[in-house]
A = this chain, B = another copy of it.
Amino acid sequence: MTEVCYKFDLATVYVSDAQYNRNSVFDTSPQTVRLYLLYNHWFMQTLVYVFIIVNLALALFEDPAVVPLPIWATSTTEIICLSAFTVRMIHYAKIIPKDKFWKDPKNICIIVVITLSFIDLTIYGALKSTGYFAIRWSRVLRPLLLVNVTEGRQLRRAFRSIRNALPQIAYVFLLFMFSVLVFSLVALKLFGKRGLLTIDGSPYFTDYVDIVFDLYVLVTTANSPDVMMPAYNYSDSFTIFFILYIVINIYTFMSFFLAVVYSNYKKHLKEEVRQLVKARRFKMCRAFSLLQEARGEGGEPVVTQAKWNHLVKLIKPNISIAHRELLWSVLDDQNKGHIGKFAFVQLADLLSIQVITVKSQPHPIHICFPSMYNSPVSRFIRYVVHHRMFVHVYDLIILVNAVFIGLDEENPVVSNAEWGFLVLYMLEIILKLYATEPRAFFARHHFWNWFDTIIIVSALFGTIINSALKHCKCRQILDIVFILRVLRLIRLVDTIKRFRAIINTLIKIGPTILTFGQLIVVVYYIFAMVGMELFKGKVQFFEPNSTSPDQEYCGNPLLKGTTFAKLNYCKNNFNNVVSSFIVLLELTVVNQCGFTAVTHISARIFFIFFHIVVVIIIINIFVAFILEAFLVEYTVDKSDLQTSLEKKIEELELNVQHFMDAYQHSILVLLILDAMESNDNELGPSEAAKQKPSLMFKIASRRSRTVDGLLQRMFETEIHPEDFEEEEPENINFSNPVFDSV
């Protein structure tokens, strides 16, 4: 490898690290740089995720299993996964300097988890083969790999948010528990000696521990009026106790938890993003110093266009020439042929901006049958399709369709009407395809066009298959057809501007909701593993048509006569991973604890602990995130957050033109570059091409899509753009794992 090659490789690593906010500190020897490039290759990263998913999915096949597999099969799979993680770890150790590697608790956590898993596997195998009872306790540790092994920085950050908020939450929680304990003591003294009975005839509020538990459950609102009814029936004035309890413990303390979590989340997020921005800038400066050359005597160091082109090609191998030229022209706005440090640093941001190349081409029918396409009838059709009334007419059709969907589909009029609607929808798509160039219609960002077409075409196929197989009455196909029909109605939302704004915010929040999805999976997985060990097989579900006498008490005599059995909750059990997850979801919504009847009373601790972790902490973090996202979206003035880069792009912009297409609401900026026309346009200058420049750049900033992006911008505007810190930021180690304090 030549020296130049190495320099470019290293610069590539720095730039892409800056682009993806990676924070590993690696040796800068040529060998390591190659290894590091391999380590961050998308294929390797995907592979790790696949192994993690396989490892987590093992819970489906291990006892208690949804689909039972022999132990040798699950063990072998687990060994393969663990080996893969070990290899990945060794690969990482080769890149990172030894001392840094062992200082990073993330790595130690992974090594510990892998070691413990191997030990557990060996013990379990040995015990099982000799016929002893054994527990796969290391399964609880599996989700830690998802948190630590992967590139899931977002997930780690969420965990760090929680960890930082923990001390404050703990204090409020202790005070809250103190309040619950004091209220319970008052309840014991007030109601205990009165000989009141609950609805199932048991004594009311006579045992202190039971009272504490009942009043804690009241906070989750699960037993809301029931717990109060005996006292209320006895005397009106006792409600004062419950009113005070509800106001103080439900409303005030629960809001306090949210406030604590939110204020911590906010503070922490700002600090992290600020440091991210600093770290990125530092890396870009490193990359610059690798490629810089002195210009003139005493002139500032610069990077030439040739070197820059080479670098960009290395970072994004499949970038189009036009796109690269565009980026360069944004940076080098005075056409000097070289750029300084200030411009170079912006490359990472520039590469994050998603640029979709849309070639404006005449309609295929126009090319084949120009006279027909330009005939008055054809022109009129195109005029009608692009008219606003066309959209409104179809909105009306959708509304009428909604009514028909609600009607009984076994009525022949209704089922025939469905064919009519399908034809109308197909006609709409065909007309639009006639009026709009097909490649533009199906451009990647035209969400609603794709949505419509997929829904309608699938519904068409489904309906055809369904009527072909009318005698088989396949519910699955019919279900899908029904759902597809209802989904068509969603398009109505898009026609009302205010709804669109809300939907757009929801879409922007989308990616981060996925992070919370992962967080929930991690927590649910751990609780499901523990719950399965505690409760598996205690509650049986019998198929509705079963005639077993055990059915009415879920196969467990302890449940005889309980509300749990009466309400037919038997399927809410921990007998496999899937039902465990569903029970945990139900517990998240309303914490009901029928399970304590089948095991020791101390199992309540499991439910209380779950409530604390999921409802008090995680749901509040989620709400805090949505609050912050909403506030950033709605109250921060976007123009203040426009990066210097976007301003430059706007200056460069020759002609902003909004598509007349009614479906196109997501356009941010349209960049039309006449200069590029000669390079890429292979078509001869036609009439249509003269009207519009043939190559357009649409800039839909992907970074601004997420709250993170907006926050990053907020801090970028705060940090002076010329202010480059040459020294490495001190607190650069973001990839700290979450569990270092555990």
Contacts and interface: CB of A to CB of B under 8 A. Distances in A.
A118 interface: no
A182 interface: yes
Given A582-B239, A630-B259, A174 B405 contact: no
A593 to B, nearest CB: 12
Interface of A: 171-172, 174-175, 178, 182, 185-186, 188-190, 194, 199, 208, 221, 224-226, 228-229, 232-234, 236, 239, 243, 246, 250-252, 255-256, 258-260, 262-263, 266-267, 402, 405-406, 409, 475, 479, 482-483, 485-486, 489-490, 492-493, 498-499, 502-503, 506, 513, 541, 544, 566-569, 571-572, 578-579, 582, 585-586, 589-590, 592, 619, 622-623, 626-627, 629-631, 634-635
Contacts of A406: 185, 188, 208
Nearest to A190: B479
18 contacts: A175-B493, A178-B499, A186-B482, A188-B406, A189-B479, A208-B406, A224-B592, A225-B569, A229-B569, A232-B582, A246-B589, A251-B619, A252-B506, A255-B622, A255-B623, A256-B626, A259-B627, A266-B631
A333 to B, nearest CB: 38
Contacts of A178: 492-493, 499
B225 A592 contact: yes
A229 B564 CA distance: 12
A567 B226 contact: yes
A630 B260 contact: yes
Given A199-B567, A489-B182, A635-B267, A585 B258 contact: no
A586 B250 CA distance: 12
Contact of A224 (B190, B208, B251, B586): B586
3 closest Cβ contacts across the A-B interface? A259-B630, A189-B482, A255-B626
Contacts of A232: 571, 582
A229 B567 contact: yes
Contact of A189 (B171, B229, B486, B568): B486
Contacts of A572: 225, 229
B263 A175 contact: no
Nearest to A520: B247
B174 A225 contact: no
Q: Which of A489, A503, A566 neighbours the largest number of chain B CB atoms within 10 Å of its CB?
A: A489
Given A233-B571, A251-B622, A568-B199, A590 B225 contact: yes
Contacts of A503: 175
Contacts of A513: 252
A568 B229 contact: yes
A578 B239 CA distance: 10
Contacts of A225: 567, 569, 572, 586, 589-590, 592
A233 B405 contact: no
Contact of A635 (B250, B263, B629, B631): B263
Contacts of A482: 186, 189-190
Contact of A405 (B189, B492, B568): B189
Nearest to A178: B493
Given A172-B502, A256-B630, 10 more contacts: A182-B490, A185-B486, A189-B409, A189-B483, A190-B482, A190-B483, A224-B590, A225-B569, A252-B506, A258-B623
Nearest to A194: B475
A483 B259 contact: no
A664 B272 CA distance: 39
Contact of A402 (B185, B405, B631): B185
A92 to B, nearest CB: 35
Contacts of A567: 199, 225-226, 229
Contacts of A234: 544
A629 B262 CA distance: 12
Which of A186, A208, A492 gathers the greatest number of chain B CB atoms within 10 Å? A186
A620 to B, nearest CB: 10
A403 to B, nearest CB: 10
Nearest to A506: B252
A405 B259 CA distance: 34
Nearest to A570: B233
A414 to B, nearest CB: 12
A584 to B, nearest CB: 11
A316 to B, nearest CB: 35
Nearest to A185: B486
A49 to B, nearest CB: 22
